[in-house]
């Protein structure tokens, strides 16, 4: 009984290449098909589960009074 091999699409991975594809978890990504692992997003970037790329994480800032200097991290 031979097991067929196939490439998982970007955003998914398979550790062995011949089992069911799993989605990358949030904060990780898989940019190309056939991945056996998902990579962590770079600093200040994030991703949703099943992503093929990361994006800069949006930061929300609140200004309490007009004219206040607000630094967003």
For every residue of 19-51, which 3-state class applies, written as one string?
A: CCCEECCCCEECCCCCCCCCEECCCCEECCCCC
pLDDT (0 to 100) of residue 70: 59
pLDDT (0 to 100) of residue 56: 87
* Averages of pLDDT over each 10 residues, the chain, 73 residues: 72 84 95 94 92 82 63 55
Q: Taking the model in full, what pTM does it have? A: 0.69
């Amino acid at each position: 009984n031979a097991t067929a091999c196939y490439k998982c699409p970007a955003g998914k991975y398979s550790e062995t290449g011949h089992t069911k594809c799993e989605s990358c978890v949030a904060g990780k990504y898989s940019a190309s098909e056939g991945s056996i692992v998902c990579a962590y997003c770079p600093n200040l970037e994030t991703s949703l589960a099943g992503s093929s790329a990361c994006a800069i994480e949006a930061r929300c800032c609140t200004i309490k009074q007009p004219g206040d200097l607000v630094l967003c991290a």
